[in-house]
Structure 1
C-alpha cells in the first residue's frame, strides 16, 4: 500500500502533460540532429519561418521602456485601472456590447476559467464544453470538485451541433442552479473551428428561452484566447455585440489573455470581462473575483500589465501592434492552407478549420500514430480522438509534404477514423 498524507480529495492526482512531453522530446532530438531534421508540431506559440519564438516588436520595445517600479511594484488586486480599460478596448474593439462591463485581472486565460468554475458553479456541478477542447478544462474542473461534460461540437454535416448543445443545456438547467458553458470560439483549440454569427444567434436565443421565468442562471464563457489570429480585426469581433442586453440571469464572462495577442505566453497575464444588463451582477462580479485573486495568487504581474498600458495609450503603437498581428495571422493562414491543400490531395481527413493555431486530424489510436511519426522525427500531440498539429509553429518548408507523411503512417497502421 502506498503511503499518502494528502487529503482524501487530493490523493491520486497526477498529470503528465502530453504536449510538453512531446515538445521536450522534439527539442532534445533537434539538439542532437539539428533543427532542420525535426518537425515539431506541438508548440502552441508562434514561431517564425526560421523556428524562432516570436515576440512582437512593439511588445519587446514596451518591456524595454518599463521603469524599475513598473516591474517590481505590487499591482492592485483587481489590476491597474488603465490595464482593465485597455483589456476591454482590445477585446471588443468596435463591437463593445451594450450593458454593464467590468474587468478583473487574472493569471492568464487559465485564471479566468479557474475563477468561473470556482465562483459560478457548486461543488459536484457539471461544467459544459464541447468534445473538442483544451485538456486543462477537465483538470480545473476536477481540482475544484466539479465534472466536465461534453457536447458534440460538430454534427454529421461538419457544422455546429446546435441540437446536441441544446439537449445538454436543457438537462443541466433542469438539475443545477447555474449552468456554466465554456465555449472556445473563435479559433477553437484544437480544431480551428468557430461559431458563425448565425450560430451565436441561435445559441443566445435558446439560452434566453431556457431560463425565462426560471430562478436559474446561465454563465456563458467565450474563451477567446486566439482572437487576434482568427480573422480581420473588426470582422472577427462582430459577435461580441450580440452579448448586449441579455436577461439579468445570463452573465457573459469573456476569457481574455495576453499570451497570444501580445505574445506574452510566460508572463501569465489575462483578464475576465463580465458583460451583464444588471448593475448588481456587475458589482458582484468584481467583488467575488477580486476576492478570489487575493485568495489564490494575491495580485497579478505588474510588468505585463504596464507593458500593455504603454502600448495601448499610444495610437501609433496600436497601429504597429495591429500590423504585426496581421502579418503573423497571414503567415499562419498560409501554413494552414498549404497543409489543407495537400491533405485534400492525398485524402487525409481533418476537422473544419477556419483560423487559429491548430488543425486536428480525427482518428482512433492517436498515441500509436504519434509514436510511429516520432520514428520519422515528426512530433504531434495525441488527443483522445485525433492528432493536433500546431500550424502556428511549423514553417511552410516543413508543412510541405507533412500531410502525405501522416497519411502514409495511418494507412500503414490501418488506423480508422
Structure 2
C-alpha cells in the first residue's frame, strides 16, 4: 500500500474532488476530510489549494530520518536536487563562500536596486553567455533564483487562460508558478520512439497553441534537463527556431521562448553547451527569447535565491518594454533581491584570477558528477533497466507506470527517489559512485515486483 504521507486524497461521500481549469475561469475545490462537515474558509477563492505536502520535500525528510536512524552508509537518498559529497553532505564551493565572507557588511545588508545592481547585471551576461553572446538587444533583470525568472516571464508574457507549452517530462513547479496566475501547462512528448527529441510532437503542440492564442509561450529546460539529464541538440534547435520564424510571419502572433538554463554550469563542456545561444541572434521582432539564469547550482548558492531573467531581441523597443515590465513586477512582488549574492557573483566574474579559481573548483565537482552518472548509466544498461537518454546534469529518469508504488516499495530497501507522473527521478548529484552502482538493480527489482503485483490484482 502506498504511504498516506505520499498520496493525499480529498474525498467526500466517495467522490474524488479534482482541481480543473477552464480557459479563463478557474474552478477551485473546497477542502474536505472524510467524515467532516465543511468548515469556514477565510482565504480568497483564488488562493484555495489542496492541503498537500510537496512530495519531494516529504520523501527527502523521510530519507533524512532513515539516515539518522540507520546511518548514511545504509541509505540511498536520491531525492535531493543539490550537489552532495560522497558522505552525503552539501557541497559548498570554497571560492564562492570565501568571497562571500570577505564582503563588507554594507554590501550584504543594504537595499539593492529593483532591477538588480548594475555590476551584477553585466556579470550575469558574461557568466551566462561567455563567448556566445547573441547579436541583438540584451537586457537583464535580477530575480530570486531561476524560479523568480520564470514568474517574471510567465506573468508579463502570457494572458490569463493561456496555455504554456513545455515537455511531458518537466520540473513540477512550472505548474505551480503558472496556474497561480491562471495559466495552464500543456505538454508535448519530449522523446520519440528512438529516444531522440520529438520535434514532430513539439511542432504539433506549438502550432495547435498558435491556432488558438496570440502568444505562444514555450519553456525549454536545456541543457542538462531536469528531470531527465537530456540536452536539446543544436540541429533540433535549428528546427525549433525555423518553426518560430514561420509562425512569426503572421504579425499578430507573439512567440516567447523561455530557456531555463538552471543546470548549464554542470553540463560537461562549458563552451559547447552555450553555442546554441547564438541561434537567438537577429530573430524577427515578434520572437522574444528570455533566458532564466540561476546561481543555485553553478555557485552552490541554493538558499541565496539569486538569479536573473535575460531577454534577447532584435528590437530595442521590445528590450525596453521587457525591462520596465519586469522591474514593475519586481517592485510588486519582492521589491529587490539579495545584494550580497549579487556582489559575490560580480566580484568573482569580474576578477580573472578569482574566476579561474572558481572554474577549476567547479570542474572538479563536474568530474565527480560525470563519474557518478556514467556508473549509473552503465549499470542500468548491464541489468536491463530502461532509462531516458542522459547527457548532463543532476538527474537520471526511469520511465514506468505506478511510480509512487515503486518509490514506496524502494523505501523498504532504504532507497528514496522522487515519483513523477511517468516515471522515477534519481539524483546522481546526491549519491556517491558506490551507491550509484547498486541502485539500478534495486530499482529494476522493485519495478518487476510492482508490475507482477499489479498483474496479479488485475487477474
TM-score computed with the length of structure 1 as normaliser:
0.98
Give the distance between the partners of 2:410 and 2:48, measured in 1 at CA: 35
Contact 2:380 2:440 in 1 (8 A): yes
What is the CA–CA distance in structure 1 between the aligned matches of 2:82 and 2:436, rounded to whole Å? 16
1:400 alignment partner, SS class = helix
In structure 2, C-alpha distance between the alignment counterparts of 1:329 and 1:3, rounded to whole Å = 52
The corresponding residue for 2:373 is 336
1:106-155 alpha-carbon deviations (Å, 9 max, x no partner):
01000011111111000010100000000000011110111010011111
Alignment match, 1:227: 264
Equivalent residue for 1:287? Answer: 324
Q: Separation in 2 of the partners of 1:296 and 1:151?
A: 31
Separation in 1 of the partners of 2:317 and 2:251?
19
Q: CA deviation at 1:214?
A: 2.7
What is aligned with 2:336?
299
2:279 to 216, 222, 242: 242
- Name the Cα RMSD after superposition: 1.0
Residues in 2 aligned to 1:16 and 1:172: alpha-carbon distance in whole angstroms: 32
Match of 2:26 in 1: none
Greater RCO, CA 8 A, separation 6+: 1
1:178 alignment counterpart: 215
Q: Deviations over 1:149-197 (max 9, x none)?
A: 0011111111111111111111111211111100001111000011101
Query: Where in structure 2 are the equivalents of 1:7-406 lying within 5 Å?
Result: 7-406=44-443
Measured against aligned partners, the alpha-carbon deviations of 1:319-366 in whole angstroms (never above 9, x if no partner) come to: 112112211111111111101111111100000000000000000011
Distance 1:327 1:384, change over 3 A: same
Partners of 2:78 and 2:431 within 8 A in 1 = yes
2:453 counterpart of 1:410: no
Could you tell me how far 1:15 is from its partner in structure 2? 4.2
Alignment length (residue pairs)? 416
1:12 is paired with a residue of what secondary structure? coil
Partners of 1:176 and 1:316 in 2: CA distance: 49
For residues 190-209 of structure 1, what are the alpha-carbon distances to aligned partners after superposition, in whole Å with 9 as ceiling and x for unaligned? 00011101000010011010
| 8 A contact 2:215–2:256 mirrored in 1 | yes
Deviation at 1:228, TM superposition (A): 0.5
Partners of 1:198 and 1:146 in 2: CA distance = 30
Separation (CA, whole Å) in 1 of partners of 2:221 and 2:199: 15
Q: Find out whether 1:6 has 2:48 as its counterpart.
A: no
TM-score of the aligned structures, taking structure 2 as reference length: 0.89
How far is 1:14 from its partner? 3.6
Displacement, 1:22?
0.7
Q: CA deviation at 1:413?
A: 2.0
Secondary structure of 1:175's counterpart equals coil
User: Partners of 2:86 and 2:275 in 1: how far apart?
Assistant: 31
- For structure 1, which runs of at least 5 residues remain unmatched after alignment? none
1:414 aligns to what SS in structure 2? helix
| Alignment check: 8 A CA contact 2:126 2:349 kept | no
Secondary structure in structure 2 of the residue aligned to 1:401: helix
The CA distance in 2 between the partners of 1:312 and 1:73, in whole Å, is 21
**Deviation, structure 1 residue 230:** 0.9
What SS does the corresponding residue of 2:429 show, helix, strand or coil?
Answer: coil
The structure-2 alpha-carbon separation of the partners of 1:97 and 1:378, relative to structure 1 and needing over 3 Å to count, comes to same
Separation in 2, partners of 1:413, 1:253 = 42
Q: CA deviation at 1:279?
A: 0.3
Distance 1:114 1:371 in 2: 33
User: How far 1:235 moved relative to its partner?
Assistant: 1.1
CA distance in 2, matches of 1:262, 1:270: 11
C-alpha deviation, 1:213, in angstroms: 3.3
Cα distance in 1 between the residues matched to 2:393 and 2:266: 6
- CA shift digits 1:11-51 (9 cap, x unpaired): 23444211111110011111111111111000000011122
- Larger Cα-atom Rg: 2
C-alpha displacement of 1:372 = 0.8
